[in-house]
Homo-oligomer: A and B are copies of this chain.
Amino acid sequence: MKVIKDSVHDHIQVDGVARALLDTPALQRLRRIRQLGTVSLVYPSANHTRFEHSIGVYHLACEALEQLDVDGKRAERVQAAAMLHDVGHGPFSHNLESLTYRRTGRYHDDVHDLLVDGEVGEVLRDHGLEPETVADLVAGEGRFGQLVSGELDVDRMDYLVRDAHHTGVPYGTIDPGRILRELVFVDGELVLDEGNVQAAESLLVARALMNPTVYSHSVARISKAMLRRAAERLLDNPETDVDAATLQRMDDPDLLVALRSCDPTSEFSRRLDERDLFKRAVWAEIDAVPGGVIEADHDKIRSFEREIADAADVDDEDVILDVPSRPSMKESTSRVMVSGEIRRLEQQSPLVEALRAAQYSQWRLGVYSPPNVRERVGQAAVKVLGLDIDGALVSEVRNGDDLETTLDQFVD
C-alpha cells in the first residue's frame, strides 16, 4: 500500500493493481504532460499534470465503488481503467489531438494497444485483468463505463476541482463527495438519488463556466493554434524523422526541445517560449460566420489561411484561422430520481438545455497573426471569409495612427 499526498484530495491510498500500474513507465510519463497544455500561458499556476489527475480519478473511482458496494475483480477493473484513462495522451494533452487524430485515426482514449502491450499489459494480466476489457472501460463502454467516461464520471469530477485549485478560477469547485455518495445503480444505469438535481447540474454548470474562462480562453486558443501549427511543420519536415505516432508518444519536454531544433518550428517555439504570441485579428460570433467557413475541413482552412495571407500581403505563416467545431447537441445521459421516479436530467432541469444553447453564444471564430500585421490580416479575413462585422470584433488602425484597437482592450 502506498499513500500519496495530493494537493486536491489530500491523502490518497493506492493499492493492488493500481499500485503496480503506478510504477509503469506509461503512467510515470504522465508526470511530464501538463494537464492543460498552453493554458499555463494564461494562468501561470496551471502546471499540474495528467499524473496527479490520474491518481485523483483513481481515488474518486474507489470512493464511488465503495459507495456502490462493488469490490473484487469488478472493482479492480474500474480502478485500473481510472488510473490508465489518460495514458493515451500525447504531449500537451488535448492541444494536438486533432492533428494526431488526422494522421493516426486515433483519439487519446483509444488505448487498446497501449494496454495490451508492454509493462501495462503484464501488470494487468498479473492481476487477473483482461487488458481489452479495461480499454473498453476507458472508452466508456460497459456497465461501469459511464463512471469512467460519461457525464457524471470521476474524470470530470477530478479535473474540475483540480483545474480550479491550480488556475485559481473558482468556477470548478463542485462537490465530488456529495455526488459520489448519491450515486446508485437503478436498472443497470447510474442515477443520482432523490434530492440531488443541483448536484448533477453543478457539474454541467461548472464545465460551462470553466470552458470559456479557462479551457477556451482566447490566449490559450491562440497559443494552442500556434503549437499545432509548429507540430504540423515538424511532422512535415523531411529532415526530422518524427511521424504522428512518434509525436503521440513524446512527453512535453521532448516536443518542446524538438521544436527548438529545426525550421520553421523554432520560430514558433521561440514565440511560445517567450510568450511573444500572435494576437487576434478577428474574433467573431457564430451568427457572423458563413456556414461554409464553420464546416470547412482542414484543407479548406489551409486554403482560407493562404488566401487571407495573400490579401493582406503577409507571409503564409503569419495567418492562423481557428474555427471550433459547431457546438454538439448530444443528449444528456445523466439520470436523477425526482418524486420517486427516474428522470433524465434534461427533462427535470431547464439548465441542461440552456447550457447547450450557451455553447452557441460562447462560440468564437478567431484569426490570429503577429501583432504588427493584425490590422491588415483582420481586414483581409473579413473579406475572404465573408464575415458579418456586426457580430465580430476586428482589429483596426484608425487614421493611420498606431491606435490601440478594440481588441487590445480585452486581451489580457
Contacts and interface: CB of A to CB of B under 8 A. Distances in A.
Interface of A: 2-8, 10-11, 23, 25, 28-29, 31-32, 34, 40, 43-49, 51-52, 55, 164-171, 173-175, 177-178, 181, 193-195, 197-199, 201-202, 205, 208-209, 212-213, 252-254, 256-257, 273-276, 285, 339-340, 348-351, 353-355, 357-358, 360-362, 390-393, 406, 409-410, 412
Given A257-B253, A273-B25, A273-B29, A355 B351 contact: yes
A181 B287 CA distance: 29
A44 B52 contact: yes
A173 B168 CA distance: 11
A393 B385 CA distance: 57
Nearest to A43: B5
Contacts of A202: 171, 209
Count the copies: 4
B198 A171 contact: yes
22 contacts: A5-B45, A5-B168, A7-B46, A8-B45, A23-B274, A23-B275, A45-B48, A169-B175, A170-B174, A171-B173, A171-B174, A199-B213, A252-B253, A254-B257, A349-B361, A350-B353, A350-B354, A350-B355, A350-B357, A350-B361, A351-B355, A354-B354
Contacts of A25: 273-274
Nearest to A5: B168
Most chain B beta-carbon contacts within 10 A, residue among A5, A209, A212, A351: A5
Considering the complex of A and B, which 4 residue pairs feature the smallest CB-CB distances, nearest first?
A: A354-B354, A253-B253, A7-B45, A350-B357
Contact of A209 (B205, B339, B350): B205
Nearest to A355: B351
Given A2-B412, A49-B47, A275-B28, A7 B55 contact: no
B178 A11 contact: yes
B6 A168 contact: yes
A47 B44 contact: no
Most chain B beta-carbon contacts within 10 A, residue among A47, A55, A167: A47
B170 A175 contact: yes
B5 A169 contact: yes
Given A23-B275, A31-B44, A253-B252, A197 B361 contact: yes
Nearest to A348: B361
Most chain B beta-carbon contacts within 10 A, residue among A28, A45, A171, A202: A45
Contacts of A275: 23, 28, 31
Contacts of A273: 25, 28-29, 32
A34 B205 CA distance: 30
Nearest to A258: B257
A406 B340 CA distance: 8
A351 B2 CA distance: 30
Contacts of A3: 181, 412
Contacts of A410: 193-195
Given A170-B174, A201-B358, A350-B353, 7 more contacts: A2-B412, A3-B181, A23-B275, A23-B276, A47-B47, A350-B354, A351-B354
Contact of A358 (B31, B167, B350): B350
A319 B94 CA distance: 41
Nearest to A47: B47
